[in-house]
Amino acid sequence: MKINKLLIMRVVFVVWIVLCINFIARELFKKGYIKDYITLLSRDEDGRRSYVYGDDFYGLLKYFKDNAKPGTTFRISGIKELSVDDRRAVYFLYPFLKSSEPDYILVFNEDVKDDRYEMSSKLDDKRYILKKKGV
């Protein structure tokens, strides 16, 4: 009896494809991720970022990135240090650098009162940007 290597390879390939489809479909439907993927596929790049970051937080980051002078430093108040949101913000705002003594403080869902800073821009009551006096 002669074993056909090509037939064995085809069977292994088909089984592999079926298993991959099973794992993908199970994650999408069982855990309910299908809605998120459909939403992400239907949006442009800014829309996808807005969905993942949160509309309010992304709006603050986008406003700062579009209006800040090159070379300025920032700090974000209102999100936990080294959280996923913090890392996303630092990545998105590059080449602006995060600093402990920044030129700007981006305030998100928090009240910040610091005599060294003045109001620069206000998006709403819980999202605004403070600018260091004299900058």
> Mapping DSSP to helix (H, G, I), strand (E, B) and coil, where does residue 70 land?
coil
Q: What is the pLDDT of residues 82-126, one digit of tens each?
A: 899 999 999 999 999 999 889 999 999 888 888 898 988 888 888
Domain range annotation of the chain = 5-41, 55-132
Q: What is the pLDDT of residues 46-95, one digit of tens each?
A: 888 988 888 899 999 999 999 988 889 999 998 898 899 999 999 999 99
Q: Residue 13: which pLDDT band, with cuts at 50, 70 and 90?
A: very high
* pTM score, whole prediction: 0.73
Task: Give the model's pLDDT for residue 64.
Answer: 93
Residue 1 has pLDDT above 60, yes or no: no
Residue type, 26: R
Cβ of 4: how many Cβ atoms within 10 Å? 8
* Rg of the chain on CA atoms, in Å: 24
Cβ of 97: how many Cβ atoms within 10 Å? 13
Orientation of helix 5-30 relative to helix 34-41, angle to 10°: 90
Task: Give the model's pLDDT for residue 12.
Answer: 93
Q: What is the pLDDT of residues 23-37, one digit of tens each?
A: 888 877 777 777 878
Query: Rounded to whole angstroms, how far apart are CA atoms 22 and 79?
Result: 38
Q: Exposed, middle or buried: residue 119 (CB in 10 Å: 0-12, 13-18, 19+)?
A: exposed
Residues in the chain: 135
Query: Rounded to whole angstroms, how far apart are CA atoms 115 and 126?
Result: 19
- Per-residue CA distances from 59 to 4, 32, 39, 48 (Å): 61, 27, 18, 13
